[in-house]
C-alpha cells in the first residue's frame, strides 16, 4: 500500500475519529461525507471512546502473508458505546475466548509490517477487559 | 422490453486446469456455446471476471476474448462484481437483448486462479481494504463471523453447516464437470482442518479454474437456434454495505433478499414456486443464509434445510444440484454463468442423474464479497 494512503487515513486510524449525523444521529466509522443512514451531509466529527463489545468474532488459522507470524489470532466486529462498529484483532488473550458479548478496550498497536523492510502500520486492537 | 431466451450453453470442467490459460478457458466455453447454437454472428460479448488483472496480470478482457473467438470487431466488455461477476454479466446481457440494443449476446464468465497469484490476498480485495483487510481479515474469516453471528442468533451448529457440504458433495459426485466428484461424510467435514473458526476446510469452496458461457437472444428468434429455449423471466440485483461491520445484522444477507424481491416481482412468482435453485455456497454458512434471504425458509431457519433433506435431490426444493460452489468448484467470475447452465439443463430435462423431475421454474443466486452484492435470476422452461 503506498504511504500517502496511511497519511490520509491517520485521523480515523490513529485517533479513532468518526462522524455523527446532525439529522439522524447515526455514528459512522471511519468518517464519510454522506450519512449512510439518511444521506445527510451535516456530519460532525467526533472521537470514539476506546472500548466496545464483540458483536461477532472468529479465529483466523490461515492468514494473509503479512500476518503469517501472528496466526492463530482472533478478529471481531466490535461495537463502541456510541454505536460505531469496527473490525479489529483481539489480542493478549486466548483467541478462542473471544466470543459475542466479550468486552474489550481498544488500544493503539502495531498492526503489520508491510513486506520485509516496509513501513510499520499502526491502528487499534481490542484487548479483553477482565 | 422484449422477452429473452437462453438458447445454448458451453462450459469447461472446473478444477485445477494447469494445461489451460485464462483465454483457453474462455474460448473453450464460448466456442462450445456458439457451436451448439449454430451462431455465426454476435452483437455483443459480456465477460464476467473478478480479477484477471491480479490473478494473471491480464485486464481488458472484452477485446482479448472477442479476438480469441475470431470475433474481433464485436462490442465486448468485462463485467465485474467480485464473485458475482458472472451473474452480473448475465444480467447485462439480458438487459442488452431485452432493450433491443442487441439480438445475439454471449454472456460468459471466466477465472484462472491457479497460475501462482496469492489467492487469499486477491479474493480479499473484494472486502473493504481500509477497514477490514488492513487488520488481517480473510474471506473465510468474514464468513466465519457471519457463521458465528448466525449461531449466536439462531442456534445454528457446526454440524448443521457440515450437512450443507455433505449434501452438495453428494450432488457434485453426479456432475462430470465438478472439481470434486466425490462424496464426503459428516465426520470428514467435522475433522477437516480449521481455516477460520468455526469454518473448517470442508466448509469452504475450493480454488478453481474454469469458464462458462451462454447465448442469449430474443424469445421470438430462439427457434432458429434451439427447439428447447429457456426464458429468463426475472433479473434482480442489489447491494448492501460493503463492510461486515456496517451491516445491522451480520447474520442476514440484505443484498440477497433485495435482489430476490426484485427478481420475483419481475417474474410474477414467489419463492414457493421455485422448483430448483443454484445458490452461492462459497462457504456452507452462505447457503444457510441464502436460503433464508431467498425466502425458501423463514428467517433464522436455514440451518435445518440441508439437515432435513429439504434442499437435497428428491427434497422439496433441491438446491445446488450441480454440487454448488463447494463440490463443482468456484472459479469466481465463471460461477454465475455456471449456475445458469445448471438451471438451463434442469429446465430442459437434460441434467441426467441430477434431474429434478418436471422442473419448469428455476432460480440462480450469485453473490459478491461477504454479501455486498448479489444477483438473482429466474428461468422458465418454454
Does B197 contact A58 at a Cβ distance shorter than 8 Å? yes
Q: What is the DSSP string of B328-339?
A: H---GGGHHHHH
- pLDDT tens-place string over residues B190-237: 999 999 999 999 999 999 999 999 999 999 999 999 999 999 999 999
Predicted local distance difference test score (pLDDT) of residue A110: 94
pLDDT recorded at residue A6: 76
Contacts of A64 in chain B (CB under 8 A): 118, 120-121, 124, 133, 136, 138
Q: Which residue of A has its CA nearest to B119?
A: A64
Q: What is the mean pLDDT of residues B41-62?
A: 97
Q: Distance from A40 to chain B by nearest Cα, in Å?
A: 17
Among the partner residues A30, A57, A96, nearest to B145 by beta-carbon distance:
A57
Q: Read off the pLDDT of residues B292-340 as tens digits, 9 standing for 90 and up.
A: 999 999 999 999 999 999 999 999 999 999 999 999 999 999 999 999 9
Q: Calculate helix-pair angle for B335-347, B85-99, nearest 10 degrees.
A: 60
Q: Is the pLDDT of residue B241 over 70?
A: yes
Confidence of residue B287 (pLDDT cuts 50, 70, 90): very high
- CA separation for the pair B88, B75 (Å, rounded): 17
Instruction: Compute chain A's Rg from CA coordinates.
Output: 16
Nearest neighbour of B135 by CB, restricted to A9, A30, A89? A89
Q: What is the pLDDT of residue A1?
A: 57
Q: State whether A64 and B133 contact (CB < 8 Å).
A: yes
B12-37 pLDDT, tens digit each: 999 999 999 999 999 999 999 999 99
**Number of residues that make up chain B:** 382
What does the pLDDT read at residue A2?
58
Candidates A54, A92, A87, A52; CA nearest to A73 is A92
Each residue of B105-146: pLDDT tens digit?
999 999 999 998 999 999 999 999 999 999 999 999 999 999
Predicted local confidence at residue A117, as pLDDT = 72
Rounded to two decimals, the pTM is 0.97
pLDDT higher than threshold 80 for residue B86: yes
B83 is an active site residue: yes
**Interface contact flag, B144 A96, Cβ < 8 Å:** no
Number of C-alpha atoms within 13 angstroms, CB side, residue B251? 21
Contacts of B129 in chain A (CB under 8 A): 1
Percent of chain B clearing pLDDT 70 (strictly above): 100
Sign of CA dihedral B350, B351, B357, B359: negative
Query: What is the spatial distance between Cα A110 and Cα A121, in angstroms, rounded to a whole number?
Result: 6
Q: Along chain A (130 residues), what's the average pLDDT of each consecutive run of 10 residues?
A: 74 92 97 97 97 98 92 98 97 98 97 80 94
- Which pLDDT belongs to residue A33? 97
- Mean pLDDT over each residue of chain B, to the nearest integer: 97
Chain A interface includes B40 (CB < 8 A)? no
Nearest of A110, A35, A31, A33 to residue A69 by alpha carbon: A110
HSE at residue A21, side-chain half, CA atoms within 13 A, is 19
Amino acid at each position: 500500500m503506498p504511504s500517502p494512503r496511511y497519511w490520509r487515513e491517520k485521523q480515523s486510524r490513529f485517533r479513532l475519529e468518526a462522524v455523527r449525523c446532525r439529522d439522524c444521529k447515526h455514528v459512522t466509522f471511519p468518517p464519510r461525507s454522506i450519512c449512510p443512514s439518511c444521506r445527510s451531509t451535516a456530519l460532525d466529527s467526533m472521537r470514539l471512546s476506546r472500548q466496545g463489545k464483540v458483536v461477532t468474532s472468529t479465529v483466523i488459522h490461515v492468514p494473509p502473508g503479512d500476518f503469517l507470524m501472528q496466526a492463530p489470532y482472533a478478529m471481531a466486529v466490535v461495537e463502541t458505546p456510541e454505536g460505531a462498529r469496527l473490525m479489529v484483532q483481539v489480542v493478549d488473550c486466548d483467541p478462542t475466548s473471544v466470543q459475542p458479548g466479550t468486552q474489550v478496550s481498544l488500544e493503539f498497536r502495531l498492526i503489520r509490517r508491510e513486506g520485509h523492510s516496509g513501513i510499520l502500520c499502526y491502528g487499534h486492537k481490542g484487548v479483553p477487559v477482565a | 422490453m422484449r422477452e429473452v431466451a437462453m438458447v445454448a450453453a458451453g462450459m469447461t470442467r472446473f478444477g485445477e486446469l494447469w494445461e489451460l490459460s485464462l483465454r483457453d478457458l474462455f474460448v473453450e466455453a464460448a466456442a462450445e456455446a456458439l457451436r451448439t447454437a449454430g451462431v455465426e454472428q454476435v452483437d455483443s460479448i459480456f465477460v464476467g471476471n473478478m480479477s484477471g488483472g491480479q490473478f494473471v496480470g491480464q485486464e481488458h478482457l472484452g477485446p482479448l476474448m472477442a479476438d480469441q473467438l475470431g470475433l474481433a470487431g464485436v462490442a465486448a466488455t468485462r463485467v465485474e462484481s467480485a464473485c458475482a461477476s458472472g451473474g452480473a454479466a448475465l444480467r447485462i446481457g439480458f438487459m442488452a437483448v431485452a432493450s433491443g440494443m442487441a439480438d445475439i449476446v454471449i454472456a460468459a464468465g471466466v477465472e484462472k486462479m491457479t497460475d501462482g497469484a496469492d489467492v487469499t490476498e486477491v479474493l480479499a480485495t473484494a472486502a473493504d481494504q481500509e477497514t477490514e483487510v488492513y487488520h488481517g481479515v480473510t474471506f473465510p474469516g468474514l464468513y466465519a463471523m457471519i457463521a458465528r453471528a448466525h449461531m449466536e442468533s439462531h442456534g445454528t451448529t457446526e454440524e448443521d453447516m457440515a450437512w450443507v457440504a455433505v449434501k452438495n458433495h453428494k450432488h457434485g459426485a453426479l456432475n462430470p464437470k465438478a472439481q470434486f466428484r466425490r462424496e464426503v461424510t459428516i465426520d470428514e467435514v467435522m475433522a477437516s482442518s480449521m481455516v477460520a473458526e468455526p469454518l473448517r476446510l470442508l466448509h469452504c469452496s475450493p480454488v478453481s479454474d474454469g469458464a462458462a458461457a451462454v447465448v442469449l437472444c430474443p424469445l421470438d428468434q430462439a427457434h432458429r437456434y434451439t427447439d428447447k429455449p429457456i426464458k429468463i423471466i426475472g433479473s434482480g440485483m442489489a447491494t448492501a454495505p460493503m463492510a461486515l461491520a456496517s451491516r445491522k445484522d451480520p447474520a442476514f444477507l440484505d443484498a440477497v433478499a433485495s435482489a430476490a424481491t426484485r427478481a420475483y416481482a419481475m417474474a410474477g412468482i414467489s419463492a414457493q414456486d421455485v422448483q430448483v435453485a443454484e445458490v452461492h455456497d462459497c462457504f456452507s454458512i452462505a447457503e444457510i443464509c441464502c436460503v433464508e434471504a431467498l425466502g425458501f425458509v423463514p428467517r433464522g431457519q436455514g440451518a435445518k434445510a440441508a439437515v432435513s433433506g429439504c434442499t437435497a435431490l428428491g427434497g422439496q426444493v433441491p438446491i445446488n444440484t450441480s454440487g454448488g460452489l463447494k463440490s463443482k468448484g468456484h472459479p469466481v467470475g465463471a460461477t454465475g454463468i455456471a449456475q445458469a447452465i445448471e438451471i438451463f439443463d434442469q429446465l430442459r430435462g437434460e441434467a441426467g442423474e441430477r434431474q429434478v423431475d418436471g422442473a419448469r421454474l428455476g432460480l440462480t443466486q450469485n453473490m459478491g464479497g461477504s454479501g455486498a452484492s448479489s444477483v438473482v435470476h429466474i428461468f422458465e422452461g418454454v
